[in-house]
Amino acid sequence: MSNEKTAQKHVVFIGDRVSLLPFRPLGINCIIIDDACSSKSPVEVEEELRSKCENAKLVVVTHEARLQLGESIDNVTNPEGLPLVVDIPGAIGSRGDGGTNIRQLVIRAMGADLFGDEN
Q: What does the pLDDT look like over 28-53, one tens digit per residue?
A: 888 888 755 667 787 888 888 888 88
Q: Which domains does the chain have, with CATH numbers?
A: 3-110 (3.40.50.10580)
In this predicted structure, the answer to whether residue 117 has a pLDDT above a threshold of 60 is: no
pLDDT confidence tier of residue 92, bands split at 50, 70 and 90: low
Question: Largest Cα–Cα distance of the chain, in whole Å?
Answer: 52
Give dist(CA 13, CA 4) in Å, integer.
16
- Give the pLDDT confidence score for residue 119 in this predicted structure: 45
For the question of whether the overall pTM of this predicted structure is more than 0.85, the answer is no
Summarize the confidence of residues 8-23 as an average pLDDT: 84
Higher-scoring residue by pLDDT: 86, 110: 86
Classify the phi-psi angles of 58: left when phi > 0, otherwise alpha if psi is within -120 to 50, otherwise beta. beta
